[in-house]
Amino acid sequence: MTTVVAIHTTFALVDPLKPLYLELLPGIRVVNLVDDSLLADVRAAGGPTPAVTRRILGYGTLAASSGASAIFSCCSSVGEVADLLARAVEIPVVKIDDRMASRAVSLGTRIGIVATVPTTLNPTEQLIRRKASEAGTQVDIGRYLVDGAFDALTSGDAAAHDRLVLEGIARAASECDVVALAQGSMARLAPALPRSIAVPILSSPRLGVEALRAALGLE
């Protein structure tokens, strides 16, 4: 059976991704490898530390040597480490936000990034700028950090998280051509977005699994 190893730095996306796997990756076994100390360490240091990098590279090389056909990197805050991992293994390493960044560049030149974790802003902006450079496009990027939302979510106050994030999305949408949600955990709010928001609001889970499907040769 074809196996994908999904590397998570938090439990937030483990369950939300399952329906997408069933829909888009039929017959594929997905093994979730979760180390929730990783994101805590990244947040405390303001970015990936050497120890975080070593752990992720270790998980990824173990997955590759154990017979996985692909690795799914599920945290935008460690995107640069996923790039290192991609050079260290001989199987595809798919970043959950890679296709979202490409789509954002194709939809507008003023791109808003909404994040609930500060350490996600820089990697997401760098990824979007790289996609713009590859496409020969100039972009302006607005950064919208929703303070307190992620802590509310992890403490069990989903209602407070949702209220804060929806406010942040609305603010970004009023100033940008397209909005990219830097945390996959925000994707579930799409049905609650006001109809008055006319610009595209992009989230990473579905686009990421679509990219994973393509990497596995299923398209």
Query: Phi and psi at residue 7, in whole multiples of 5°?
Result: -100, 120
Distance of alpha carbon 53 from alpha carbon 44, whole angstroms = 15
Question: Does the reported pTM lie above 0.85?
Answer: yes
How many domains is the chain partitioned into structurally?
2
pLDDT, mean of residues 29-49: 96
Containing structural domain, residue 110:
98-203
| Pair (19, 85) in one structural domain | yes
pLDDT, mean of residues 184-212: 92
In a 13 Å sphere around the CA of 55, the CA atoms on its Cβ side amount to 18
CATH number for the domain spanning 47: value is 3.40.50.1860
| Pair (106, 71) in one structural domain | no
| Pair (91, 153) in one structural domain | no
Q: Which of 187, 211, 218 is nearest to 86 (CA)?
A: 211
Q: What is the pLDDT of residue 50?
A: 97
DSSP class of residue 185 equals G
Q: What is the pLDDT of residue 185?
A: 85
| Pair (74, 113) in one structural domain | no
Q: What is the pLDDT of residue 153?
A: 84
Q: Which of 89, 30, 95 is nearest to 65 (CA)?
A: 89
Which residue type, as a one-letter code, is found at position 158? A
Q: What is the pLDDT of residue 150?
A: 85
Q: Which of 48, 38, 16, 49 is nearest to 153 (CA)?
A: 16
Q: What is the pLDDT of residue 191?
A: 85
Q: What is the pLDDT of residue 68?
A: 98
Residue 75 corresponds to which tokens in the numbers above? 């945290």
Residue 200 corresponds to which tokens in the numbers above? 């595209």
Task: Provide the percentage of residues in the chain whose pLDDT is more than 90.
Answer: 88
**3-state DSSP helix/strand/coil percent for the chain, to nearest 5?**
55, 15, 30
68-90 pLDDT, tens digit each: 999 999 999 999 999 999 999 99
